[in-house]
Amino acid sequence: MPRLGAGATQIGKTFETRLRASGVAGAIAPAAPDLGVLAQRLGIPVVAQHADPYEAGPHTGYVVPEAIAAVGGRGSLLNHSEHPLLPRTIAATFRRLEALGLVAILCARDVARSGRLARLRPRYLAVEPPELIGGTRSVSTAKPSVVSGTVAAVRKVSPRTHVLCGAGIHNRHDVRRAFELGAEGILVSSAVARADDPAQAIDELLAGFP
């Protein structure tokens, strides 16, 4: 089943059930057309994959923060490697989300960029080397210094920011190693979205949480 529409709802409900059983906190970031549906049907936080810095009005084709809030979204990813933004755009969008009480999960591709984005003092910052996204090698095993280095760089600037890591994380060993390196959570897409059995994939990932 495609992981959109009804498929997204199915994964979302499975994810919610597994999270509650495990006691792990989590959120889901569906494609934009599914955002409102999942926000209404799920009891876990639903966030957008992207947001733009504009106000509601004549901005056809953009995802304005007001629209995310209006359908029950709790925030948005920003600057994912598959949708990179200029630094000034990240800052402007971050401020717009914060002003509306929405959570911004900033994404960075390496240690240096993580340290710079930490100056915004976001609640969450995720490091994801783009060359490992969607692959079979996880950042926590292939590039552990990126995770530990990001944790150190972010804590130096913004101690209250929670550092997440993503890219290539597929199993409990990848997750466990991420926590050993100082991360406080993970960002996952293909490990679940491409899995033959998403429920089994979710269970495998959750098994690595402390």
Indicate which residues carry an active-site annotation: 80, 128
- Give residue for tokens 């466990």: 176
Rg (CA), the chain: 16
- DSSP assignment of 17-86 equals HHHHHHT----B---GGGHHHHHHH-SS-B-BS---SPPSSS-TT---HHHHHHTT--EEEES-TTS---
Contact 94, 78 (CB under 8 A): yes
Amino acid (1-letter code) at residue 153? A
